Amino acid sequence: MKKTVIITAMALLLPLAIFAKPSEDDVFLKAMAVYNSKDYKGASSAFENFLSEFPSSRYKPSALMKIAEIEEDVTKKKELYDRIIKEYPATEYEAEAVFSLGRMYYAMAEDKKAEEYLGTVMGRFSSTVWIEPAYYYMILALDGQGRQEEALRLYADYNNGKGYYMYKNRIELAYANILFKQGKFGEAVFAYQNVIDKTEDTEKYIYLPAVYQKLAEAYRKSGNTEKAKDAESALLKRFPSAETHEEAAESVTKTGAVTEVDPVTNTSPAKAPAPENKAQSDIEYFTVQVGAFSLEKNAELEKENLAKKGVKAEVVKDGNFFKLKTGKYRTRAEADNFARGKGLKNYLVRKDF
């Protein structure tokens, strides 16, 4: 009899177990798993479904942040961040949303707007984790507006015993680029060498071969051609597949920070057009490199973003990086004019590859 009762109870409970509704935690973690697999379109849908099913969840702000991060339409992205700012004032979520808007506007080359949001982070949210990256992007935004002296003062403040370290090398690189831009080539040499010495080969936010190129160029600008050659030799020793100054001199542009890797740019006079009677296969062409990524997925996402701006780019595997290039030009000057005309913020003019 007892055995019969137990079996009957189990039979009644089994359907309930089979059709039990997934918990709030389970659904959110499943959406995060999709996001971490880098299926961003699927992740956006998963987070949207989560919010529909659990509209009052404690995970709601996190889900909104992820949807905003994934969103490619700038207007919709801003609306999502503004919603977070409005619904979660004086929280870590507001701080992250404000910072994200500052970074977004910097990526769009709207440095003044970027400064506004980053300044809010530095003023109201200085005790949050977003303060250190805010320093970095603020330095870049000030530099982009030609306010190098203000950027240098902010650099000095960053290094004033605050204990920051996560963005240290990137900020040192921004500092080196400002010195170079100001014509302080001797100081720039030491700054670039410092970045090289402290940056691991696996660093995904700094493209070291380009830093070596800038070091060599700084030596040349300071009149030390032998040291410039030594820097290029060191480059080839550390990165055998990299190009030297003669092979890939690049144009001066703004310091960039929107991609996973922040390319450092270089300087070179425009090269004369190839003679018209030269064989077609021997003609030298130039292209505009608009990004270098360690993950192909991120390169493809940036390619889509550029397409929306009317820039048709191609993803090319080059060494350990997936690089985005656009255009094919007979001279460096033509390539540079194209990039500037399209309002590209960080790019390299180099031989086509």
Alpha-carbon distance 262 to 136, whole Å?
12
pLDDT of residue 167: 93
Six-digit token string for 322? 């997936």
Most distant pair of Cα atoms in the chain: their distance: 102
| CA proximity to 305, closest of 28, 72, 42, 41 | 72
Six-digit token string for 202? 């696996």
CB 64 within 8 A of CB 51: yes
Type of residue at 53 = E
Alpha-carbon distance 113 to 128, whole Å?
21
Task: Scan for tokens 């207007």, then name that residue.
Answer: 75
Q: What is the pLDDT along the chain (353 residues), one digit of tens a residue?
A: 555 555 555 555 555 455 567 899 999 999 999 999 989 999 999 999 999 999 999 999 999 999 999 998 889 999 999 999 999 999 999 999 999 999 999 888 889 999 999 999 999 999 999 999 999 999 999 999 999 999 999 999 999 988 898 999 999 999 999 999 999 999 999 999 999 999 988 777 888 888 999 999 999 999 999 999 999 999 999 988 765 544 443 333 333 333 333 333 332 323 333 334 444 445 667 888 887 777 777 888 888 888 877 788 888 887 667 888 888 777 777 777 777 777 776 677 777 76
| CA proximity to 332, closest of 352, 353, 305, 302 | 352
Alpha-carbon distance 213 to 263, whole Å?
11
Alpha helix positions (H), the chain: 2-18, 24-36, 40-53, 60-70, 74-87, 92-107, 111-124, 131-144, 148-158, 168-181, 185-198, 208-221, 225-238, 296-308, 332-341
Class of domain 167-247: mainly alpha
pLDDT of residue 151: 97
Residue 34, CA distances (Å) to 68, 96, 279 in order: 16, 22, 51
pTM summary value: 0.68
Alpha-carbon distance 63 to 51, whole Å?
7
pLDDT of residue 8: 55
Angle of CA points 262, 267, 270, to nearest 5°: 125
| CA proximity to 220, closest of 246, 198, 242, 258 | 246
